[in-house]
Amino acid sequence: MEAKDFTRREFLKISGLGAASLTFLGILGCDSTKQRLAPNIIIIFCDDLGFGDLGAFGHPTIYTPNLDKMAVQGQRWNSFYVAASVCTPSRAALITGRYPIRSGMCSDERRVLFPDSTGGIPETEVTLAQALKKVGYATACIGKWHLGHLPPYLPTEHGFDYYYGIPYSNDMDYVGGANAFEKLRYNPKTEYWNVPLMRNKEVIERPADQNTITKRYTNQAVKFIKQNKNKPFFIYFPHSMVHTPLFASDEFDGTSRRGLFGDVMAEVDWSVGTIIKTLEEENLADNTLVIFSSDNGPWLSMLQAGGSAGLLRMGKGTTWEGGMREPTIFYWPGRIKPGKVMDMGSTLDLFPTVCALTGADVPGDRIMDGYDLSPVLFHGQTSPRKTMIYYRGEQVYAARKGSFKAHYITQGAYNMGGERTEHEIPLLFNLDHDPSEKYNIADQHPEVIKEISQIVEEHKKTVKPVEDQLEKRNQ
């Protein structure tokens, strides 16, 4: 179907929803004149951003005025989770609405895809972009993909009309000589990493000039908005930053009290502000849902070049809260009920939520792991998500139900020490009382551990063996 403006009747026909349902969500007015009814969707996804790295989430010296404004005028979710604590599986979960164990996009050995990987997101998976294209959306992926860099796995093969970005992490394809780890942390130079910049299927620059990459991503997003302002559009905008190596353009370099990390965050915040300003200038702000989050927690072994999980424990690579609970904002002026949400949500929920708002179909031929959050967004109702499973690779390390989280296996962050420990009696924490996971209360609540363990076992019964995409590589 070609993307276009929809009349009221046309949109109801393709969406399969009734007028009462859409009026409930605040999408339809009462008149029957021709108008754009299908909302635009923009998902902005940072890389390695910690729970404590935004002003709105408590950082004292990182200046993020645009994101802070969105947090005040929209909804700030304080218990919002990704489905993995590293790049590839986390991104696979967002784009499919399924735990990555179901698609083969996680591994105990190779945690993410690398330049020598030959696997990627399977053709059998249905992406959010594919679902939206079926109801007339123009679709773009701008930024870091990391779901497969070979032709069958690129965004343009999985529902995106347009792609501009890097195909994997910005620290891959290292060509900078000795002391690679130190160069990630201190005085990085863009030529140390031979990362390709792509447009659709073509490499247009190598190495990508990462000093200007945030600005160029933003310009591409603005261009796409303007080109598609008369039709519904979906932009998935996964930033390269604040993954190390860190790079900021001249305009932002040296401007933050937080140092280079703060400079980079200031530019990401500028990028978000530029997107919002463009929506306002094109009279699209009141018809566009903007979602901001991150793929996993901070890369702690990068020291000051990495971020902060605030009061949450640990970071990237772990199933402690700091690895998988992310600062998340939903913004839709005049539509979303502003406030702070304490209930659970997840990137797994974005697929069904966006489908509910746009009339797209959620795949009915497979297990989906998300919930429609629109009643929370628009009417302040309780979140339907009551549980969360915490995977590290292919194994369940922890699970949460309500206030309580049980750890079956614990392990430290990358390059930060800490042995893998299997707990005969799971650790138990009340995250409402103890978000830092300091006080094990397993001996006080054996019935809670039993209940959570039953949930985990029921979940495992739904997991079927699939081909491991991350283990496939050039020999």
Q: Under 8 Å CB-to-CB from 447, ≥6 apart: which residues?
A: none
Residue 221 and residue 87 share a domain: yes
Same domain, 313 and 343: yes
**Calpha distance 119→472 (Å, rounded):** 5
Q: Determine, yes or no, domain membership for 225.
A: yes
Portion of the chain with pLDDT greater than 90, in percent? 90
* 265 and 327 housed in the same domain: yes
Whole-model pTM: value is 0.93
Q: 321, 349, 380 — which closes off a domain? A: 380
Question: Which position has the higher pLDDT, 248 or 419?
Answer: 248
Which residue's structure tokens are 């370099």?
253
On the question of pLDDT at 15 being above 90, the answer is no
Q: Is 149 a catalytic residue?
A: no
- Domain assignment present for 473: no
User: 75 with 122, same domain?
Assistant: yes
Residue 469 lies in a domain: no
Give pLDDT, residue 36: 53
Q: How high is the pLDDT of residue 475?
A: 75
Comparing CA positions, the residue from 341, 373, 238 lying closest to residue 293 is: 238
Kindly state whether residues 267 and 310 are assigned to the same domain. yes
Answer whether residue 37 shows pLDDT above 90. Answer: no
For 255-280, the pLDDT digits (tens) are 999 999 999 999 999 999 999 999 99
> Is 146 labeled as catalytic in the residue annotation?
yes
Q: Evaluate whether residue 474 is within a structural domain.
A: no
Do 361 and 402 sit in the same domain of this protein? no
Can you give the pLDDT at residue 381? 95
434 located within any domain:
yes
Enumerate residues 6+ apart whose C-beta is below 8 A from 359: 11, 14, 15, 16, 17, 38, 135
- Does residue 282 have a pLDDT over 70? yes
State the pLDDT at residue 341.
97
Q: The domain spanning residue 447 has which CATH number?
A: 3.30.1120.10
What is the rounded (10 degree) CA torsion for 273, 308, 409, 411?
A: 130
Mean pLDDT of all residues in 434-451: 98
- Determine which one of 59, 106, 146, 158 is catalytic: 146
Domain ranges, residue 456: 389-461
* pLDDT per residue as tens digits for the range 292-309: 999 999 999 999 999 999
pLDDT of residue 26: 46
pLDDT in the model for residue 33: 27
Looking at 87, 106, 141, 355, which residue is catalytic?
Answer: 87
Predicted confidence band at 79 (pLDDT cuts at 50, 70, 90)?
very high
Say if residue 203 is in the same domain as residue 92: yes
In this structure, what DSSP letter does residue 33 have?
S
Spatial contact of 384 and 372, defined as CB atoms under 8 Å apart: yes
> What CATH number has the domain bearing residue 93?
3.40.720.10
Per-chain mean pLDDT for the chain? 93
Give yes or no for residue 11 having a pLDDT over 80: no
Domain match, 301 and 423 both: no
DSSP string, 317-343: TSSSHHHHB--EEEE-TTTS--EEEEE
> Could you give the number of structural domains in the chain?
2
**pLDDT band at residue 251, thresholds of 50, 70 and 90?**
very high
Q: Please identify, among 350, 380, 410, the residue that sits at the C-terminal boundary of a domain.
A: 380
Please give the pLDDT value at position 4: 39
Domain boundary, last residue among 319, 352, 380: 380
The arithmetic mean of pLDDT across residues 412-438, rounded, is 92
In this prediction, residue 226 carries a pLDDT of 98
Query: Quick one: CA dihedral 469, 245, 66, 64, positive or negative?
Result: positive
Q: Which of 144, 192, 188, 190 is nearest to 168 (CA)?
A: 144
Q: Which of 270, 154, 285, 149 is nearest to 212 (CA)?
A: 270
Q: Once rounded to an integer, what is the mean pLDDT over residues 424-428?
A: 98
* Same domain (yes/no): 206, 307: yes
Predicted local distance difference test score (pLDDT) of residue 2: 38
Does one domain contain both 401 and 373? no
The one-letter code for the residue type at 278 is T
What are the pLDDT digits (tens) for 99-139? Answer: 999 999 999 999 999 999 999 999 999 999 999 999 999 99
Asked if 397 and 423 sit in the same domain, the reply is yes
* Residue 2, in any domain of the structure: no
Q: Is residue 75 part of a domain?
A: yes
pLDDT higher for 21 or 76? 76
**Coil, helix or strand for 169?**
coil
* 344: Cβ contacts below 8 Å, ≥ 6 apart: 79, 80, 81, 383, 385, 386, 387, 388, 400
Whether residue 144 is found in the same domain as residue 211: yes
Q: Which two tokens stand for residue 426?
A: 């799971």
Domain presence at residue 467 = no
